[in-house]
Structure 1
Amino acid sequence: MTKLSVNINKLATLRNSRGGNVPNLITSAQDIESFGAQGITIHPRPDERHIRYQDARDLKKVVTTEYNIEGNPIPSFIDLVLEVRPTQVTLVPDAEDAITSNAGWDTLKHKDFLVDVIKTFKANGIRTSIFVDPNVEMVKGAAETGTDRIELYTESFAHLYDQGKTKESIQPFIDAANMAHEVGLGINAGHDLSLDNIKFFKEHIPHLLEVSIGHALICESIYLGIENVINMYLNKLK
């Protein structure tokens, strides 16, 4: 079964919009795990507009499933990850002012940088994953960095799938996943995956280990309830 890691950034956004501590991220993460999610993901950004660096430290004390911290490996992020030591770090090439992640790494252009960063994390017992577009050459490049896994950036899949272009939406991801498996990389995926498209994606992507879902899951939970939504995802991921 593909694991479900719930990204709780949007809960932090809601909390920060009013100050105070509602919703409480610690309680939320514990509840999400109790509802069946197999991981918690956070993506702190330098301006801490949703997840704060202190949240990363506090969550480490309570998360009992897989703990995944995403972000651009700037010095402050690297220091945070080395301090917290999550299960997994996912490296994302975000600009500081990016609203959300919008591209994968050019693993050829940034190979030397990625090699150094990944080596540091792995030396500290942290599993590494890097965000990549569904491009076979970028997957091959990822294998040269020493990373354990890739996370396929699925925005293009979701966009085309919504237009009914199912074959066009999925084929690049099938090719990328097959290449990742061939070169010995684990396969994660995330971005714009939802209850509408997750079953189709899961059924077509071989060797899919984990999906990270936040925005859609939290939005769906407004109508359906978060415990119900988590179990709906788990059923579609079987």
Structure 2
Amino acid sequence: MAAVPEVEVVVAHQERATLRVGDVFLKIDADSGRTDVEVEAMAMAPVPTPEILWRKPPVLALAALPGTALGRLGEPSTASPAAWAAAGAAVRKLHDAPLPPWPGRSREELTSQLDAECAWLVGNGVLPTDLVTRNRQVAEAALRPWTPVFTHGDLQITHVFVEGDEIIGVIDWSEACQGDAHFDLATLTLGHEERLDDVLAGYRADVDLGVIRAWWSLRSLLVIRWLVEHGFDPFAPGCEVDVLRSRM
């Protein structure tokens, strides 16, 4: 009898779940709007994306990508400098593409969310006041006017797949929007500051390093509550809390 593929739970929480069965990923999302964005963004993106096999809400079926993820937060990346540079080149290609039709968060929305998250982190004793205050100050540099580009919106290194020195595909496009180019670059290098030069070598455009560092602080402050409430550990070595501590 032929072996039957096992069902692997890739990620699961109250908002969505992703399962893998053989070479097929099944993304289950109660919010069809997020799936609409993902499907349209993949169609628009000028970089490799997974093949859509079928869609029947609330499920989106995608073909598995070959290769391996560029790395994982909290772990050393074994990808070559050339692979990181290729990731930078892919991000630049995305940022040069025509804008998607939907806007991202405004500076005002980000500022309000940041203030609320900082108050929660301090008020609930999750992080020391001085750590939050210092990173809130650093984050301020990201809250300036920017020219919107086509951003992935959640460009974690686990979402970028490489084979050798080449980018094979980029996954998880549900947060794609018009946004700040520095945000994608910061998300890609979060916790891997040593790889920033490689990424920028491939990106080949002027960037403000202070703004990228500001986004490292801003993104970390914004996501810690969500991570804690959904069963993830931002206190793990090399993860979000360590990113904040590195700014002290």
TM-score (norm 2): 0.30
Higher relative contact order (CA 8 A, sep 6+): 2
Whichever of the two has the greater Rg, that structure is 2
